[in-house]
């Protein structure tokens, strides 16, 4: 899968998630780096901002 295809597939998948689903994915993220967010911090962000963070993490974890 090309980088563009991965981005489009990942972005589309994340866009369909609701806030609780995005929070769960962020809290259980397994990549080359660890994400460490408090529940209060995540609760204070909009669903769009959470999606942006998750997409950035997934793309960064995928790049070599």
Per-domain residue ranges of the chain: 3-62
Closest CA to 35 of 44, 48, 25, 45: 25
Residues 61, 33 contacting (CB under 8 angstroms): yes
Residues 61 and 32: beta-carbon distance below 8 Å: yes
Q: What is the pLDDT of residues 6-64, one digit of tens each?
A: 899 999 999 999 999 999 999 999 988 889 999 999 999 999 999 999 999 999 988 75
What pLDDT is recorded for position 36? 93
What per-residue confidence (pLDDT) applies to 1?
77
Q: What is the pTM of this model?
A: 0.88
């Amino acid at each position: 899968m090309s980088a563009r295809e991965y981005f489009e597939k990942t972005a589309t998948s994340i866009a369909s998630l609701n806030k609780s689903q995005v929070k769960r994915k962020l809290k259980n993220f397994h990549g080359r780096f660890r994400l460490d967010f408090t529940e209060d911090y995540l609760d204070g962000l909009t669903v769009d901002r959470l999606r942006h963070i998750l997409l950035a993490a997934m793309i960064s974890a995928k790049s070599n």
